[in-house]
Each structure stands twice: as C-alpha cells, then as structure tokens.
C-alpha cells in the first residue's frame, strides 16, 4: 500500500494480511461514512437542544478528549474500529453542535453556509480525483506531509510564543486579514487531504482488505470532513465580521 499523510490510514499499512473472507467495498465505505455523518448530525442537534449553557465549556473539553481517544483507538484496531468510530462521531457531533451554536449566535446562517461549503468541496475533490485531474503521486504525498508538519510546527511555536509574548502574538493572530489568510490555507489543505483519503480508500478496496477496515477508512474521512467544516465556519464568521465593520 502507498503512503498517506492522514494518520488515520497509516495504521492500516502496518497490517500485511487480512483475516476475513469478506473484503472492503466502495459501497461499504460510503454506507459507513454516511452513517457516521448521520450520528454526528443527530448528536449535534441534540446537544444544541438539551445541553445547558452553564455546562457548555466543560462539555466541549470532554468531547474533545473523548473524540481524540476514540479516533486513536478506531484507527489502530480493526476489531474495535466500529464502536470507537461511532463514539468518535457522537463526541464530534456534540463538539460541532456546540461550536456551531456559538458561531450561529454570532453570524446567523453560518451553519448552512458551512455545510454547503463542505459538501461542495467534498464532491469537487471527489470528481477531480475520480477523473484523475488531480493525481496523487509520491511527490504530492511528500508535499502534503511537509505542509502538515509545517502547520503543526507553526501552531506549536505560536502557542509557546503566546505564553511568553502574550499580547503581541495574540494581536497579530487576531488581525482579521491574517486570520482569514490562515483560514483559507487550512481549508485548501483540508480539501487536498481528501484526495489522499480517496486514494487510501481505493487502495483498501483494490487491495482486498478485510471488511472491518471500512470503519477505519470511514472514520478517516470523518476526521477530514470535520476539519473542513470547522475551518469554513471560522472563515465565514471572520469574513462576515470584516464586511460588517
């Protein structure tokens, strides 16, 4: 199997044999991804309707921790991938529901815009990948991996400098133009990561992987979709606030 910059799929490469007579299919991956999306949406709606405002920030923290642990387990154990993929979708749905409610209170209608934007990006990138307009080559993977490392280092350095340089660094990052530029970069990176996800899904199916790996591929797609959705939310809010000034 080929390399990918999405950490969700790298664990699949560590397994050289598949034990089940039932192999992964595109239909299975699509069905499981849609199911996880449905679970996330349902959890998000319920969180907005029933979670008290006073518990908002504590619930956000819990959802982030549970989501992180769940995706780590789901991407490392085919046997546990199904329950922990569902748990990940529940926690991320809770997280996204609360984040969406906060942003929606600032910019009404931003949730619909973010949903439509995420769908458009997903299907455009799927078309570009399926038509081979975008080809995932070894060089492309290396570039994406370097970009991901660069972003990680950037945010780590920013976090450290914020602790010691406080006000100056915060003012720089709170600059609308800078924040908008970073948001645009994050959306583009997320979109390009989708092509790597599609390639991994293709490799899993064409390589005859065990059907349990469908859950691992689906949760990998969920990670990227959630990333794109959150970044579009932020981008639209910043853009709207700049326009209304």
Residue predicted with more confidence, 48 or 220? 220
**pLDDT, position 52:** 74
In a domain, 96, yes or no: yes
Number of independent structural domains in the chain: 1
In a domain, 162, yes or no: yes
Cβ neighbours of residue 129 under 8 Å, at least 6 residues apart? 136, 194, 195, 198, 199
* Separation between Cα atoms, residue 59 and residue 243, nearest integer Å: 32
- At residue 169 the predicted structure's pLDDT band, cuts being 50, 70 and 90, is low
This model's pTM is above 0.95: no
> Taking 90 as the threshold, does the pLDDT of residue 12 lie above it?
no
What is the SS3 assignment for 124? helix
* Separation between Cα atoms, residue 195 and residue 122, nearest integer Å: 9
Cβ neighbours of residue 225 under 8 Å, at least 6 residues apart? 37, 118, 122
Q: What angle (nearest 5°) sits at the alpha carbon of residue 208, between those of residues 204 and 213? A: 50
In a domain, 153, yes or no: yes
Q: Look up tokens 């939310």; give the residue.
A: 233
In the chain, what is the greatest distance between 2 CA atoms, to the nearest angstrom?
A: 61
- At residue 195 the predicted structure's pLDDT band, cuts being 50, 70 and 90, is very high
CB-CB contact of 85 with 219 (8 Å): yes
Residue predicted with more confidence, 69 or 165? 69
CB-CB contact of 178 with 234 (8 Å): no
List C-alpha distances in Å: 40 to 37, 60, 91, 172, 225: 5, 14, 8, 34, 11
In a domain, 137, yes or no: yes
* Separation between Cα atoms, residue 179 and residue 81, nearest integer Å: 36
In a domain, 2, yes or no: no
Which residue range(s) make up the domain with 121? 7-243
How many C-beta neighbours within 10 Å does residue 230 have?
A: 22
How many C-beta neighbours within 10 Å does residue 158 have?
A: 16
**pLDDT, position 15:** 47
Tell me the average pLDDT across 28-41.
Answer: 93
In a domain, 139, yes or no: yes
**pLDDT, position 16:** 41
In a domain, 231, yes or no: yes
* Separation between Cα atoms, residue 123 and residue 171, nearest integer Å: 37
Residue predicted with more confidence, 13 or 126? 126
In a domain, 1, yes or no: no
Phi, psi of 210 (to 5 degrees): -60, 145
CB-CB contact of 74 with 219 (8 Å): yes
Answer left, alpha or beta for residue 18, where phi above 0 means left and psi between -120 and 50 means alpha.
Answer: beta
């Amino acid at each position: 199997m080929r390399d990918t910059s999405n950490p969700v799929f790298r664990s699949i490469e560590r397994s050289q044999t598949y034990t089940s007579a039932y192999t992964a299919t595109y239909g299975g991956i699509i069905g499981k991804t849609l199911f996880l999306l449905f679970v996330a949406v349902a959890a998000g709606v319920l969180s907005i309707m029933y979670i008290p405002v006073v518990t908002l920030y504590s619930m956000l923290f819990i959802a982030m921790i549970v989501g992180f642990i769940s995706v780590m387990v789901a991407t490392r154990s085919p046997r546990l991938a199904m329950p922990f993929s569902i748990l990940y979708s529940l926690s991320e749905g809770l997280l996204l529901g609360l984040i969406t409610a906060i942003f929606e209170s600032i910019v009404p209608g931003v949730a619909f815009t973010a949903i439509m934007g995420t769908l458009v990006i997903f299907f455009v990138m799927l078309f570009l990948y399926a038509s081979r307009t975008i080809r995932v080559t070894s060089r492309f993977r290396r570039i994406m991996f370097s970009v991901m490392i660069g972003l990680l280092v950037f945010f780590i350095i920013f976090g450290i400098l914020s602790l010691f340089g406080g006000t100056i660094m915060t003012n720089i990052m709170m600059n609308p133009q800078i924040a908008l530029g970073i948001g645009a970069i994050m959306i583009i990176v997320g979109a390009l990561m989708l092509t790597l996800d599609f390639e991994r899904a293709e490799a899993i199916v064409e390589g005859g992987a065990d059907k349990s790996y469908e859950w691992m591929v689906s949760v990998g797609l969920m990670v990227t979709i959630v990333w794109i959705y959150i970044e579009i939310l932020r981008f639209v809010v910043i853009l709207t606030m700049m326009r209304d000034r």
